[in-house]
């Protein structure tokens, strides 16, 4: 019993640490997409860093505000704020040397979408909310930063077009909820869900997958 309790406690600590670092990687990835989006707008350093930080912190801020948590996550732990800031500054000075910025943008955006969706879903579940709320907030958190980025940089929001974008987020959040319900102590549930979102999104990009016309609303 003591050994079992120790192992469960150990895996819980590993999971919390894993989620923490996944969140950090997601912030860095989205910050990079914000910087790349500003590339054609001739923005100065301050504007670019601001866009990168808003992109990377926006989704989680909306989530915590809607759920009325005690403090927004980057206020409670300023490490997130520093990661967003430093990632944006670093990206500002490095992305200009990258030839295929579009590919980097899509990979980073897919990575950020996957991480933010899954981490948010996990967090909402841990707060005691229902699976439906967890999935909804996971999707909102995953796509909100990208919407803010695209609007501020005058780009058509990916989630509002024909892009196969929100569906991978939904499927990843749903998978996590199902795994947590049936295999609650498995420390790799989050990894499986992140992998699903990322693989589906990248596959859609490489194969030019879009929603079929009969699923699109067309103005007559």
The pLDDT of residue 220: 55
Strand partners, 163: 210
Structure tokens at 111: 């990575």
Mean pLDDT by 10 residues, the chain (220 residues): 62 74 87 86 85 93 89 90 94 88 91 92 90 95 91 84 86 94 75 93 84 64
Average pLDDT, whole number, for the chain? 86
> Of the candidates 155, 142, 148, 160, which has an alpha carbon nearest to the alpha carbon of residue 39?
155
pLDDT in tens, 111-165: 999 999 998 998 899 888 999 999 999 999 999 998 999 898 888 888 877 778 8
Structure tokens at 120: 């948010």
Beta strands in the chain (DSSP E): none
Q: How many CA atoms lie within 13 A of 169 on its CB side?
A: 29
């Amino acid at each position: 019993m003591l050994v079992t309790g120790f192992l469960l406690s150990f895996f819980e600590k590993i999971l919390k640490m894993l989620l923490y670092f996944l969140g950090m990687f997601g912030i860095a990835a989205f910050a990079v997409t914000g910087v790349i989006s500003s590339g054609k707008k001739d923005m100065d350093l301050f504007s670019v860093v601001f866009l990168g930080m808003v992109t990377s912190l926006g989704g989680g801020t909306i989530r915590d505000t809607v759920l009325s948590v005690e403090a927004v996550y980057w206020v409670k732990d300023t490490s997130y704020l520093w990661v967003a800031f430093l990632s944006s500054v670093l990206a500002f000075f490095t992305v200009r040397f990258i030839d295929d910025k579009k590919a980097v943008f899509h990979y980073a955006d897919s990575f950020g979408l996957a991480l933010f969706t899954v981490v948010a879903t996990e967090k909402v579940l841990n707060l005691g909310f229902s699976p439906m709320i967890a999935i909804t907030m996971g999707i909102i958190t995953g796509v909100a930063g990208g919407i803010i980025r695209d609007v501020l940089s005058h780009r058509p929001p990916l989630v509002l077009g024909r892009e196969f974008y929100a569906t991978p987020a939904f499927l990843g959040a749903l998978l996590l909820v199902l795994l947590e319900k049936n295999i609650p102590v498995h420390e790799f549930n989050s990894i499986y869900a992140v992998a699903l979102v990322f693989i589906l999104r990248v596959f859609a990009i490489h194969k030019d997958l879009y929603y079929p016309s009969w699923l699109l609303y067309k103005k007559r």
